[in-house]
C-alpha cells in the first residue's frame, strides 16, 4: 500500500509518499505558486519520480494546509492541525507538544496518544492574524539586513552579544532593525536578537496550551538553527525534538492518515 500526503501552504508545498510500514519513500518541497493545483501536481510528480512510482501506484491521497481544497485529485482533505500532530507523533512517539512555525503562521498543539498509534489533538493555539515570528517575518528582516535567509541561523551563532528587539510587529521591527544597522551593530548580533524575540513570542503562544514534554519542533522556520537553539534555551530543561526535515511533518501526517482511510475501506 502506498499513500501520499500533500501539504499546501501559502509559502511552500510539501508532498510525502509512505509505504507499508509508514516508511517515507520520498518527499519533495516546492515553493507554492498562485495556481495551487499546478503546484500540487508538480510536487507529486517530483515525489513519484524520486520513488520510481506512478500515480496509479497511489492508493489514497490526503491534502492538508492552507490550500487543501485546491487539490481536486485528493481523496480527502484534513486540517493541518491534525496532520502536523500525526506527523510529529509518528517521528517522536513521546511527543505531547508540537511547536510549528511556517511561512505565515505559528501553531502550538497539545496531543495525547491513542492505543492505535494515533495522535489525538486535545488543544491548540494559532497565531494566524499577524506575521510576527513566522517565515515571512524572517524574510522581511533578511531583506533589510541584506543577507540570505538561509544563512541567518549560522550568522546568529557568530553573535558576540545579545541585542534586544522590542517590537515583533513586522513594520515596527523593520524600522528598529534599520536603526540598529545605522548604529553600526554587527548583523550577527541583530539576527541573534531577532531569533530571541521570535522564540519568546512563540513561547507566549505555546504557554497557553500549556507545554508538556516531549516537545517537537516542526515547520520551515525550524530549518533555521538559530531559532531552534533559542527555543531550546527557553524550553530548557524540557526535552525538545528536531526532525531531520521539520518542514514535511504536515505532509507526513497526511500520508499516514491516508493509510488509515484505506484500511477501513
Task: Give pLDDT tens digits along the chain (265 positions).
Answer: 999 999 999 889 999 999 988 999 999 999 999 999 999 999 999 999 999 999 999 999 999 998 999 999 999 999 999 999 999 999 999 999 999 999 889 999 999 988 777 899 999 999 866 777 889 999 999 999 999 999 999 999 999 988 999 888 888 899 999 999 999 999 999 999 999 999 999 999 999 998 999 999 999 999 999 999 999 999 999 999 999 999 999 999 999 999 988 766 5
pLDDT of residue 168: 83
Give the Cα-Cα-Cα angle 168, 185, 161 (nearest 5 degrees): 80
pLDDT of residue 257: 96
Q: Tell me 56's DSSP state.
A: G
pLDDT value at position 171? Answer: 85
Residues forming CATH 3.30.420.40 domain(s) in the chain: 1-92+244-265, 97-242
Within 57-196, strands assigned E span: 60-64, 76-77, 97-101, 106-113, 119-127
Q: Which helix (H) or strand (E) is 139 found in, with range? A: helix 135-145
CATH number of 1-92+244-265: 3.30.420.40
Confidence at residue 264, expressed as pLDDT on a 0 to 100 scale: 61
Residue of 23, 68, 17, 70 whose CA lies nearest to 44: 17
CATH superfamily assigned to domain 97-242:
ATPase, nucleotide binding domain (3.30.420.40)
Round to whole Å and give the CA distance between 118 and 104: 27
**Spatial distance between the Cα atoms of 102 and 221, rounded to a whole number of angstroms:** 6
Alpha-carbon gap, residue 115 to 242, rounded angstroms: 24
Hey, which residues does 125 pair with through a beta bridge? 108
Cell of residue 87, nine digits:
506527523
Residue 4: strand pairing partners:
17, 61
DSSP 3-state of 29? strand
Sheet containing 215-218: give its strands across. Answer: 119-127, 106-113, 97-101, 215-218, 240-241
| CB-CB neighbours of 210 under 10 Å | 11
Secondary structure class of 182 (helix, strand, coil): helix
> What's the start-to-end Cα distance of the chain, in Å?
13
Amino acid at each position: 500500500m502506498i499513500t501520499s500526503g500533500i501539504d499546501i501552504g501559502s509559502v511552500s508545498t510539501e508532498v510525502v509518499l509512505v509505504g507499508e510500514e509508514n516508511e517515507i519513500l520520498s518527499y519533495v518541497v516546492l515553493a507554492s505558486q498562485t495556481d495551487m493545483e499546478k503546484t500540487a501536481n508538480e510536487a507529486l510528480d517530483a515525489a513519484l519520480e524520486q520513488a520510481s512510482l506512478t500515480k496509479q501506484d497511489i492508493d489514497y491521497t490526503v491534502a492538508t494546509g492552507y490550500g487543501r481544497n485546491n487539490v481536486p485529485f485528493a481523496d480527502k482533505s484534513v486540517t493541518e492541525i491534525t496532520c502536523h500532530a500525526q506527523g510529529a507523533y509518528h517521528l517522536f512517539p513521546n511527543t505531547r507538544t508540537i511547536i510549528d512555525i511556517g511561512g505565515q503562521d505559528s501553531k502550538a498543539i497539545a496531543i495525547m496518544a491513542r492505543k492505535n498509534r494515533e495522535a489525538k489533538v486535545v488543544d491548540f493555539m494559532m497565531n494566524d492574524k499577524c506575521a510576527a515570528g513566522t517565515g515571512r517575518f524572517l524574510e522581511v528582516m533578511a531583506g533589510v539586513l541584506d543577507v540570505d535567509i538561509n544563512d541567518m541561523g549560522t550568522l546568529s551563532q557568530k553573535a558576540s552579544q545579545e541585542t534586544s528587539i522590542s517590537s515583533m510587529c513586522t513594520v515596527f521591527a523593520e524600522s528598529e532593525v534599520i536603526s540598529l544597522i545605522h548604529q553600526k551593530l554587527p548583523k550577527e548580533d541583530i539576527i541573534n536578537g531577532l531569533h530571541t524575540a521570535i522564540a519568546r513570542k512563540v513561547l507566549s503562544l505555546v504557554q497557553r496550551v500549556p507545554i508538556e514534554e516531549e516537545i517537537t519542533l516542526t515547520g520551515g522556520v525550524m530549518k533555521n538553527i538559530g531559532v531552534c537553539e533559542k527555543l531550546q534555551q527557553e524550553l530548557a530543561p524540557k526535552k525538545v525534538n528536531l526532525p531531520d526535515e521539520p518542514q514535511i511533518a504536515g505532509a507526513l501526517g497526511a500520508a499516514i492518515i491516508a493509510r488509515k482511510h484505506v484500511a477501513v475501506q
